[in-house]
Amino acid sequence: MIKHTIILQPSGSRGQVDEGTSVRTAARELGVEIESICAENATCGKCMVLIEEGRFEKYNVDSQQAHLSPVGTEERAYLERRPKLLKSKGWEIGQVRLSCQSKILGDVLINVPEESRGNKQIVRKSASNRPIEIKPAIRKYLVTMAPPNLERPIADWERLAKGLETSMQLVRGVDAKVPRWFDMNIDYQCLRTLSKTLRDAKWSVTVSVWNDKEVIAVQGGYHEESYGAAVDIGSTTVALYLCNLRTGELLAAESEMNPQIVYGEDVMSRIQYAIEYPDGLEKLHKAIISTLNKLLSKAAHEAKIKLNEILEMVLVGNSTMHHVLLNLHPKDLGLAPFVPTIHKSVDIKARELGLHINPSGNIHILPTIASFVGADTSAMILAEEPHKQDENWLLIDVGTNAELVLGNRKRLVCTSTPTGPALEGAHVEYGMRAAPGAMERVHIDEVTLEPKYKVIGIEGWNTDHAEFKGHVKGICGSAIIDAVAELFRAGIVDSRGKFKKTLESRRVREGESGWEYVIAWTEETSIGRDIPITQQDVRQIQLAKAALFTAARTLLKRSNLQNPDKVILAGGFGSFIDKEKAMLIGLIPDCELENVYAVGNAAGDGARIALLNIEKRNEIDAVTRNVERFELPTDPDFQNQFMLATSFPHMSEPFEHIAHLIPNRVVDPMAKNFMR
Amino acid sequence: MIKHTIILQPSGSRGQVDEGTSVRTAARELGVEIESICAENATCGKCMVLIEEGRFEKYNVDSQQAHLSPVGTEERAYLERRPKLLKSKGWEIGQVRLSCQSKILGDVLINVPEESRGNKQIVRKSASNRPIEIKPAIRKYLVTMAPPNLERPIADWERLAKGLETSMQLVRGVDAKVPRWFDMNIDYQCLRTLSKTLRDAKWSVTVSVWNDKEVIAVQGGYHEESYGAAVDIGSTTVALYLCNLRTGELLAAESEMNPQIVYGEDVMSRIQYAIEYPDGLEKLHKAIISTLNKLLSKAAHEAKIKLNEILEMVLVGNSTMHHVLLNLHPKDLGLAPFVPTIHKSVDIKARELGLHINPSGNIHILPTIASFVGADTSAMILAEEPHKQDENWLLIDVGTNAELVLGNRKRLVCTSTPTGPALEGAHVEYGMRAAPGAMERVHIDEVTLEPKYKVIGIEGWNTDHAEFKGHVKGICGSAIIDAVAELFRAGIVDSRGKFKKTLESRRVREGESGWEYVIAWTEETSIGRDIPITQQDVRQIQLAKAALFTAARTLLKRSNLQNPDKVILAGGFGSFIDKEKAMLIGLIPDCELENVYAVGNAAGDGARIALLNIEKRNEIDAVTRNVERFELPTDPDFQNQFMLATSFPHMSEPFEHIAHLIPNRVVDPMAKNFMR
């Protein structure tokens, strides 16, 4: 057999292949996947390549010897129908070939453009900036069949399955483990319309296959894109991301308030609601389903696709949201010994949950880890991948409840702790959500004890210009952390959180409910009152940060670690707080500041990853099976630790990285036997 | 390790086993399965054995040396609670042991009673009288778990799955391929009530597992039986068999008219109805679903079980019934090139079809082979097993449409042919269904040309006593075959089916619509008229038998066979006809009479087999995939063959086995080049 050399750019892969091999097959042999969904029918154009050196007949008629087989009828038809596409890419018709159609007859240098490469990836914001490989659960194949006749009256499904086996093999390569036609299945609802679809489409259809084993959609003609939605169901906000499953592209992001909020602000009160009212669970369940359907409609409208074209959803949420979504009673999540109904990920047909994507579509719900460490935490692990690290990473998702995961490739431990709503600006006297008018940054001069601040929606500090006057509505979570840290740094409160009553400042005063520090005078506000930080507010933050810190310390102790190598803050809260101030008040354990990352909605990212890469689903199922769970109250030292942790900064911590900020370092003699 | 000899009766299996091995484990090592569903907890008593030689302490206190470990607390408790059971079997308490609890300490001879043996079998009426091994899709396991606590707050499902893995291994033996707990699944509807069930049952439940992979029911406490229903959906009659899935026992058999009959008498008219009316299919579908639910209720009531305890159904029916059941449009079944939507068997949740068994239960529908060779034929093949024979068997299911299957382990071919309703007594002038008052047997004296007959509901021949007078209502299918055969044998009609007009008998006369033979005079009937067999009736039978015979001959020709080794007649019709007479008129090909079998409702039997033995489902899927289908009209010789086959008996057939019955053998010169 005559052999020729093929070199592929930009990978630089090169090798000898048999004469007559198609460029696509040759590339696969050299480890370069080139896309195709039309089963090498010269229909999809996904496998276009550029010939850098080497010639072929028809367009290069002067060539003495062709290095590639001539352009055939179907290929020419395909290329000549698309002058605009070629022009937009800057490609010329004599240079572009469909790699499935071009057979190698001599040495060639081929450029595989980005859009033709298989194994697509997308890059996300994360602590590791690791790209995500696109391996969706749903793949599409063009199947063209001979119509049935009296000699071969084989049934519609079997006719399709045989064609599909051939297409899958052509697209995936002969080595791929493609199921035999008689082992393939078709979803029942999809089967119901199969006969009509095949006939209306004159026996040429695009088949969507889920997980290499079940046909879930059959569309007449040729269609290349399929769509999926990733959803993060928060107690407060539900966020949906509509993605193109082939390219990974984000087509629409929509969010809505979680309507369950009318039945209770936090998960415990919703669990309570489900326990108290016989139809409580049903109401909670229906509320979230209808919100999901609303989000789906909005996103489909935005992306200009039909709901029926959405073929899969991946959902995450805390264990209570998970249970309510699945219509599982959340009672035992809230009662000792606090166990979920199920950890394992759940796959369920869209129609069974009443979600208005394609009724044959799959709904995948990520695994839960514990009653208060839910599928959102699983998603965070999947997004940040502590289980692939040599270093020990501490992941914290801060909300009303905080979930913490610590460890590396050898061991992961987790816990959760109620932090109360203070860190999100609630239950603080003038606290509010992050919205226009909310104070978001605070600085206090340690000599004059005068503050300056920033407000959402207005540029710069309030001391820079007069625009601020009359605009301050309240204080959001990040500003409360700032304010409390600054009160401590400026020496206004001591390390135990008590206001010093001897300071020379009209801002420090005894208010109606005790001592307080006025951060904005009446004329600066839109509410017609002074806005103070009260002793009670400081106390709320102390309790919240003590809970978080004690949880982190417990995990570190259980793992025999002093400090984490990295701290990763997930959730909206983490994105806005000042890392230095957070460490100053002892919200997070001591760590190099540059190793503290805020990664935004890691749970949403994890949901998207699981949506775009089916292998990640098995990965996170296996990882979560081995995560060790600790219930804090079962730790014998818990109460003692918690009390110690209420101080600023934690008395037993060296806090080397923020030492310069601490005014009067106090080391409490009680701390000697502290946990570390 | 010390070894002892164990001998098991009645199998006679013997071998050496390690001291301390339980009798149940030892038996398994010797290839004798002993039942158990309580995971060796001494709870179910399914594994009781009788000690024939060898002794054990406690009940045989005088023994010098025990050959079996003493009776423990749980075992004693179990045995002493059941004096009635032991008495009813004639067993004594000192002789009976639970084999899972008794450890071998010396040589023993053990009797494993029938009820304790695993691999239960039932024997059916069939051509082969092969017993069916009971291997249901559903198996039950008792799982007792430690309740969750704060140290091990593992979720309910995972707790159950781990316990289930242990139970399955204990019941099935360590070699059995039991899935790991994390690979097991639970049906969504079953998951919804899991937490409550586990707590209400104090963590001791019976788990029903489908196909070794999915939990479909969890019941508090200990339950040993599970139930399933096999259904044969005929165009006219729907028959349901409710079975105990553990023992194979038939608990109830119910039947109803197929309510679709109001939309059309035969399958073609129902297909037409579905085509003509937009809601036609929906009406047909709802009609059969509601009849199935009615039958399920009747059977459950009869067997005194709850519908919820029925965990699986297996359904068969012709391709039209199959499609309508699945709500698949039957249009293309009735239009050339006559293709079903699907051949492969279908598994679908009961709730998806609206069938009122346990909503998590599975509905299995057997594969179709062609538009007019349906899941009922698949079931017939499964019941009769031509695919396991060295001989060539011809299976015929006779109805308005006849399905024929021919072949052996190497090759099976099939076809179908419309035979019209004449063979069932319809479209014959005085034809009626087999019911009291119907003539069912006819004999005509070849000298006097006088008839005698039998009537359903009355003992003996009409010539024997006078009781018959005024009772004859009409002629059922079997009597029409008889009558036509006798008319021919007595020389009243010739081999072309024409009445001879020159006979000296007042019974042979020219009636209103042509020549006829009066089989009952007015005074013998309850309808006040003479009952004749008319020229038209003879013609109807000729057409029907020609269709059937031509179909059989076509299959034989395609298989290069002269004659089948066995002919198996399925369906009610086959059970009542006189085999000799059927051969005499050329309804079936020539064959040793003793090799013609009537097997009754083979389709219903096949459905029961598939219900009771899950391995049979894969078997019939694979067999039907390889059955070759022939459409008769595509055979170039078809018209010619059909015309020839209308004669009595077929002119080209030697019919050696009935030669003595044929009066004036005619060999038509046309027959020389006949197909064989």
pLDDT digits (tens, 9 = 90+) for A9-38: 888 888 899 999 999 999 888 888 888 888
Residues of B in contact with A199 (CB under 8 A): 332
Largest CA distance in chain B: 103
Of the candidates A11, A3, A44, which has an alpha carbon nearest to the alpha carbon of residue A27?
A11
Per-residue pLDDT band at A653 (split at 50, 70, 90): low
CA distance B144 to B403: 51
pLDDT digits (tens, 9 = 90+) for A37-62: 888 888 888 888 988 887 776 555 55
How far A153 CA sits from the closest chain B CA (Å)?
5
CA angle A349, A352, A357 (to 5 degrees): 60
Find all residues with CB under 8 Å of A144, minimum gap 6, and list them. A39, A41, A163, A203, A204
Residue A531 lies in a domain: yes
Out of B182, B195, B629, closest to residue A153 by CB:
B629
pLDDT at B654: 59
Q: Is the domain of B549 the same as that of B518?
A: no
Residue B125 lies in a domain: no
Strands in A408-544 per DSSP E: 412-418, 438-444, 451-455, 474-475, 508-511, 514-520, 531-534
- Nearest chain B residue to A186, by CA: B346
Sign of CA dihedral A612, A617, A623, A628: positive
- For the cut 60, the answer to whether the pLDDT of residue A671 exceeds it is no
pTM (2 d.p.): 0.88
pLDDT at B674: 36
- For the cut 70, the answer to whether the pLDDT of residue A669 exceeds it is no
Residue A124, Ramachandran bin (φ over 0: left; ψ between -120 and 50: alpha; else beta):
beta
* One-letter amino acid of B559: S
CA distance A326 to B191: 10
Structure tokens at B444: 């005509």
Q: Is the domain of B327 the same as that of B356?
A: yes
Q: Which residue has the tokens 């709850």?
A: B306
Q: Name which of B341, B373, B620 to mutate to probe chain A: the one with the most chain A Cβ atoms within 10 A of its Cβ.
A: B341
Cβ–Cβ gap B328/A192 under 8 Å = yes
Characterize B347-374 residue by residue with b for buried, 16 or more Cβ atoms within 10 angstroms of its Cβ, and e for exposed.
Answer: bbbbbebebbbbbbbbbbbbbbbbbbbb
Find all residues with CB under 8 Å of A367, minimum gap 6, and list them. A343, A344, A345, A375, A378, A620, A621, A624, A625
Out of A157, A327, A329, closest to residue B195 by CB:
A329
- For the cut 80, the answer to whether the pLDDT of residue A582 exceeds it is yes
- Nearest chain B residue to A148, by CA: B337
Residues of A in contact with B342 (CB under 8 A): 155-158, 186, 191, 194
Cβ–Cβ gap B625/A182 under 8 Å = yes
Ranges of residues in chain B whose predicted pLDDT is under 70? 57-64, 122-129, 649-655, 659, 661-676
Find all residues with CB under 8 Å of A560, minimum gap 6, and list them. none
Residue A121 lies in a domain: no
CA atoms within 13 Å, Cβ hemisphere of A409: 4
- For the cut 90, the answer to whether the pLDDT of residue A265 exceeds it is no
Out of B182, B339, B368, closest to residue A344 by CB:
B182
Cβ–Cβ gap B155/A342 under 8 Å = yes
**Domain extent for B64:** 3-116
Q: Rounded mean pLDDT of chain A?
A: 89
Cβ–Cβ gap B328/A191 under 8 Å = yes
3-state secondary structure of A441: strand
Q: Is the domain of B657 the same as that of B585?
A: yes
Please state the rounded mean pLDDT for residues A209-237.
95
Q: Which residue has the tokens 């101030």?
A: A581
Residue B662 lies in a domain: yes
Q: Is the domain of A533 the same as that of A638?
A: no
Predicted-assembly ipTM surpassing the 0.95 threshold: no
How far B354 CA sits from the closest chain A CA (Å)?
13
Percent above pLDDT 90 for chain A: 57
Structure tokens at B620: 């019939």
Per-residue pLDDT band at A675 (split at 50, 70, 90): very low
Sign of CA dihedral A299, A302, A303, A308: positive
Query: Distance of alpha carbon B98 from its chain centroid, rounded?
Result: 35
Q: Is the domain of B569 the same as that of B580?
A: yes
CATH number, position B101: 3.10.20.30
Of the candidates B421, B519, B521, B438, which has an alpha carbon nearest to the alpha carbon of residue B472?
B438
Find all residues with CB under 8 Å of B552, minimum gap 6, and list them. B394, B396, B404, B406, B564, B588, B589
Residues in chain A: 676
H/E segment holding residue A263? none
pLDDT digits (tens, 9 = 90+) for A187-199: 999 999 999 999 9
Domain boundary among A485, A510, A537: A537
pLDDT digits (tens, 9 = 90+) for A608-643: 999 999 999 999 999 999 999 988 777 778 888 888
Number of domains comprising chain B:
5
pLDDT digits (tens, 9 = 90+) for A89-113: 888 888 889 998 999 988 889 998 8
Range scoring the smallest mean pLDDT among A284-293, A299-308, B80-89? B80-89
Domain boundary among A82, A116, A150: A116
pLDDT at B81: 85
**B253: β partners:** B241
CATH number, position A338: 3.30.420.480
Out of A157, A159, A336, closest to residue B150 by CB:
A336
Range scoring the smallest mean pLDDT among A353-357, A655-659, B195-199, B485-489? A655-659
Of the candidates B352, B349, B370, B368, which has an alpha carbon nearest to the alpha carbon of residue B360?
B349
C-beta separation of A342 from A325 below 8 A: no
CATH number, position A204: 3.10.20.880
Residue B500 lies in a domain: yes
- Nearest chain A residue to B326, by CA: A192
Q: Is the domain of B481 the same as that of B627?
A: no
pLDDT at B314: 98
Backbone angles phi, psi at A628, to 5 degrees: -90, 135
Would you call A129 exposed, middle or buried from its count of C-beta atoms within 10 A (0-12, 13-18, 19+)?
Answer: exposed
Name the pairing type of β-strands B474-475 and B138-144: unpaired
Residues of A in contact with B153 (CB under 8 A): 337-339, 370-371, 629, 631
CA distance A253 to A244: 12
pLDDT at B307: 98
Strands in A54-114 per DSSP E: 96-98, 108-111
Residue A225 lies in a domain: no
Q: Is the domain of B563 the same as that of B663?
A: yes
- Nearest chain A residue to B181, by CA: A344
Q: Name which of B152, B200, B325, B344 to mutate to probe chain A: the one with the most chain A Cβ atoms within 10 A of its Cβ.
A: B344
Sign of CA dihedral B551, B555, B556, B558: positive
**B34: β partners:** B117
Cβ–Cβ gap A148/B339 under 8 Å = yes
How far A631 CA sits from the closest chain B CA (Å)?
7
Q: Is the domain of A414 the same as that of A431?
A: no
Q: Is the domain of A43 the same as that of A188?
A: no
DSSP track, B391-409: S-EEEEE-SSEEEEEEE-S
Query: Distance of alpha carbon A394 from its chain centroid, rounded?
Result: 18
H/E segment holding residue A213? none
**A122: β partners:** A132
pLDDT at A670: 41
Domain boundary among B347, B368, B389: B368
Would you call B503 exposed, middle or buried from its count of C-beta atoms within 10 A (0-12, 13-18, 19+)?
Answer: middle
Q: Is the domain of B653 the same as that of B614?
A: yes
Residue A593, Ramachandran bin (φ over 0: left; ψ between -120 and 50: alpha; else beta):
alpha
- For the cut 70, the answer to whether the pLDDT of residue A83 exceeds it is yes
Residue A131 lies in a domain: no
Residue B131 lies in a domain: no
Strand ranges of the sheet holding B250-257, from the earlier edge strand across to the other edge? B250-257, B237-244, B227-233, B310-317, B362-365, B346-349
For residues A273 and A652, the model is more confident at A273
Q: Is the domain of A416 the same as that of A429?
A: no
C-beta separation of B307 from B300 below 8 A: yes
CA distance A655 to A672: 15
For residues B615 and A430, the model is more confident at B615
**Rg for chain B, CA atoms, rounded:** 30
pLDDT at A471: 83
CA distance B610 to B620: 9
Q: Is the domain of A322 the same as that of A385?
A: no
Please state the rounded mean pLDDT for residues A306-330.
98
C-beta separation of B538 from B484 below 8 A: yes
Backbone angles phi, psi at A312, to 5 degrees: -155, 150
Helices (H), A471-591: 477-489, 535-558, 571-576, 579-584
Characterize B307-333 residue by residue with b for buried, 16 or more Cβ atoms within 10 angstroms of its Cβ, and e for exposed.
Answer: bbbbbbbbbbbbbbbbbbbbbbbbbbb
- Nearest chain A residue to B196, by CA: A329
Residues of B in contact with A634 (CB under 8 A): 150-151
Residues in chain B: 676
H/E segment holding residue B337? none
CA distance B240 to B252: 8
Range scoring the smallest mean pLDDT among A494-508, A570-584, B271-285? A570-584
C-beta separation of A610 from A314 below 8 A: yes
- For the cut 60, the answer to whether the pLDDT of residue A356 exceeds it is yes
Find all residues with CB under 8 Å of A636, minimum gap 6, and list them. none
Q: Name which of A145, A151, A188 to mutate to probe chain B: the one with the most chain B Cβ atoms within 10 A of its Cβ.
A: A188
